[in-house]
Structure 1
Amino acid sequence: MAEEDSSSSSATTSREQEQLENRNLIVPSVAADHHTDDLTEASTTLSGFASVKLGTGSVKKLVIRNFKDKPLILENYTEEAWQKLKEAVQAIQNNTSVQYSLEELYQSVKNLCSYNLSANLYKQLKQLCEQHIRAEIHQLREYPFFPGPFLKKMDKCWQDHARQMSMIRNIFLFLDRTYVFQISMLSSIWDMGLELFKSYIIRDQNVQSRTVDGILLLIEKERNGEMIDRCLIQRLLSMLSDLQIYQVSFENKFLEETNRFYAAEGRKLVQKKEIPGCLYHIKNLLEEEVDRVRAYLSLNTQKLLIAIVEKQLLGEHLSAVLQKGKDVFKAFYKKDLARRLLLGKSASVDAEKSMLSKLKQECGTAFTNKLQGMFKDMELSKDTMIQLKQYMQNQNIPGNIELTVNILTTSFWPTYIPKEIHLPPEMERLQENFKNFYLSKHSGRKLQWQSTLGHCVLKAEFKKGKKELQVTLFQTLVLLIFNEGDHFSLEEIKMATGLEDRELRRTLQSLACGRARVLIKNPKGKDVEDGDRFFCNEEFKHKLFKIKINQIQEKETVFFSS
């Protein structure tokens, strides 16, 4: 009976011990003379009473009460534990190996916190971090100022600091999650490290200004075309952002330097006489600044940055240049819009008209009215073609060529130079029929055919199969003569088509020297020379059925009238 009660008593003590340990209290084992962590030397006293029923069935009762006294810390344990933690922190800061395991250091922090030493522990750790940061910033102050090496030294100092504070926080994680977490006035261990680094950077204007000036110098070098270490700048600016001094220490100076740089750049551009080149250069500069933002600047800087660049390059410095540039833009836009409309290449009429509303604000109603007139001409031309088809059916006019005509109001469209050509008889009859039809409805008007704008679809048959060739009117005239023979000289083709020499050579180049060579030139070569002969390429093959043969573009810098 006594042995059974003793066993019951021991089990109760063990459960009580587990409950106490779960409350982070150091509890000495009842079965041992000292604690395994050597933290206490006090013994545990049990008090209770027992009632034993002898022979008559009475029951023995054993009651375990709470410990009367909290275990005491061993003498010198606090100093020894802190010394161990201090050595570990200094080893991390000096980039040397730590002699203790993370588990051992973590347990030391936990033990000290368990005995209400958290406040002192946090204070000691902060002092240790502050001493190290102060020494590091002092070294930077003494470091020679050569922008590249200095910025690399600054970057290493910051990267080391971030890595060290991360490791230190892992050791003091228990302190961070208990004591620091419960006191709102205290910064976390990581934030405490940031605040210390920030305070010494701001306090030491020499280090701060040299860091910012070095970054600005590298950015200016990049703007002048030199290669720089973008990753280095990105890391340093991230540092300033993490320290929450990006705007006050860097951004304001950066925008001032940007304003100065592009004011000088604007004065250079004013002196340039080549307007298209000037505008192209401005476009490149704007793109470079946007790329710079994406590479290493804060996105919040972009709006302010681009505003400065536009002001200096597109503001008062270039008002005269921009006026010329605007005229050039209007001419080219008008020419390109005309090409899109005539070739049916416009992606969306709504998008084109939306662009017109924007151009109206920049270029005025006189310009956009002409562009709107171009759209109106295209709509009227569609209605005219419906009427023409009905007219030809009513007149029983024969023909196997489908004709589409766009009637263009001269004042709306770019200026096109008429060119005399020799049309095949059937094409001439179609033009004459259209002329009679149109003038019968609009007497007093004058029609002038613009052969340079004409396009045709030809059905061709080669040994490898049938194809549809999408070609210009000039290309059409050249190809059609090969229905009359197998080969012709340059002079013979010129006589048959009536094309001027330069236009004819470009056309033959596109047919015999381009990607889709439906003609063969003899002798071979990239240029068309006097005496060259041309043959129909009976062996022509292409993976597509419908083939567009592009005309060779003439090299010119002619500005079209608006």
Structure 2
Amino acid sequence: MTNTSIAIMSFEKEFRNIFSNLPIQASLSSLQFAFQNFEKTQQVEVHSRLKNLYNQYSINIKKSLISKVEQEDAFLEIFVTTWKHFTEKMELIRRSFQYLDPAFQTLGKESIWRLGLCEFRKQVLCSHEINRKNLLGILESIKKQREGEVRNGAILRETLQIYIKLALYDPIEKSLESTTSKYYEVKSDVYVRNLNVYEYLKYVKERIKYERDYISAYLHPRTKDSLLKHVELKLIKRHAKLIWEKIESTFFDIMRNPSEKRGQALTLLYLYLVKIDGVELLQLFIDPIIEKQIELIYEQFASMPLELSNRLNEVKNEIKEMFEEGCDDDLCTAIKEMWHQRFTKYISKNKKINETIAKLIHEFMTSTVNVKIKNLEELLEIVLQLLSYMDDKEIFRTLYMTDLVTRLCFEKTSNFELEKSVATRLLNAMEPEFSNNLDIMLNDIITSAQINESYNNNYKSNAPLLYVNVLTQDSWPKYVTSSTLTVKLAPDLEQAKKAFERIYKTDPENKNKKLKWQHELDRCIVEMTFESKHILIKLSLFPTLVLLLFNNLKSGSYLSYEEIKRQTELETAELNRALQSLIFGKIPLLLKDPPYVDIDSTDKFYNNEFLGNVIDTITDGTDNNIITLEDLEVTKRVQDALGIKISQQLAEDRAIQLDSAIMRLIKPEKQIPKSLLIQRILQIPRFEWAKEKDVLLRISKLEIDKFIETDKKNRNILLYKP
């Protein structure tokens, strides 16, 4: 046997001595010297011997634990003790042979610690029988604690920490959520019927506090919110209607009192709710009731905006009148304010009501006939009244701005002065940022008209007529001004574009300004001639550029996909969309071979030589030779895209608000625990829409942008980067 083999066996022997609680017999310095002179294959053999030892020891642990007859807390205690002994042995090996880990890392092997964890995980924690015993012990321990029994909380906490460290916590978490849900479902069914409303509110308050302060202390931080949601669902939301009936009857009893006693009675009720923390619970109870009430009102009056506004106003007044007489005390009026707050919250969140308001304005501005509202004052009365019910107008602002962009940029408004009047009246109902942007947007349209007049007076050419909206980038929605698409224009369009840029720069005020063309928004009117008939077709720019390539194409000739892409320089997705709109729209201006819906790089594209007959059919019996083929944009896709743009704009606005709040909290303190930061953000009323994952996403983005960073020593600490 060689000296090297003897040295490797010595390593294995000392590893076994440590696991057998025997002292190390060999010289550690001699072993280190021998290891440093090993070949790589021999060092790998040492790693393999240690892995086998971990494996054997873990198997023995598994057999021992399976044979135990102890249950629940007793078994958990044995399990935790066994784990501690195992990790102590790993730590002793790591301390005694410190030079091994750097060498293992160089070899691409697991460290001493990780190697042991992996074997323990594989042999012990992945054992079905051991997992069953542990899970039973965890769930029974928590259940008995909920029932008031004194249990060993330290053992429970350590058991859960083991599962968290070894990445096997998810099944435990799901079982905890499931058993918690079932436990409180049974309890709530009993207590909600046997207790009066005050006693039940007190019980709910105590259970939520217990789960938040005691049970959640044992669990992974992410489980806390999830567990509390299950508790609230079973104790509150599941019985919301029944609880509300009890609360409502209490209110009615109070309201039957003479006015001079009503305030006193309401004050007593409020004081009791405060005492048991019931005001917050009351909000949870009334939320689904108010939300349902608003939905029913909308369904009934959706097509009657004036009646919708009046009915919501009636509900608002009912709340006011309910508490008005004999209720001067601040404590009493707090209930009214809370009720009113939940009412305005759910109107703000109701997307259908927001869409109704935006649609009223859009229809009034784009139509001259068949409009439900006949004059501006009637429109503004309804709109402003509906907006007055909202504490958060973010959804309406996004919808209104999207419609406004369409009207201003694509000349769909029936009266620009009316647009200014409506905008001016809306300013008082909206936030300051809305006011600033709206002023600039309207001014951009006026300025654009002046610039285009100058262009038309100074540029005489046979090039196509051109009208350009010059928009201030930061004041318009991002989806309007943030496009990065590029395209190769037809020569006469490129000539007109450069002429416009030259004339624009002649104004001294524009000398240092840079024009950024947003071709994705361009719209064109294309003149098409069929024998003696002239047709004007409205298209967007990209389909127009494709169509122009076929202008002088001989009958029977075709263009390949690659040729069209080379001449237009459109991105693949945009080119495919343009071709589909020209081929599969209501009027097929082009044909393709093969005639499948999907566009392929091997396809061939032809003029539709039967297009004249199709046009004749569409325009037959009419004097109107202008066809607006917006459905060529594939209507459903455009509607979907518009919805995406609205959602994107809303998401962008909310992301900016979250980023600002995060930086305001972390900057003064320089460092803050991540969990505390999330908790503080979610407690801010205007972030009611936010979830923990939304805050984590913004934290990650701010880390990428290097505004903040995670502490390398403690991953839960966030640091401000000046």
Q: How high is the TM-score relative to the length of structure 1?
A: 0.46
> Which structure dedicates a bigger proportion of its chain to helix?
2
Larger radius of gyration: 1
Q: How high is the TM-score relative to the length of structure 2?
A: 0.36
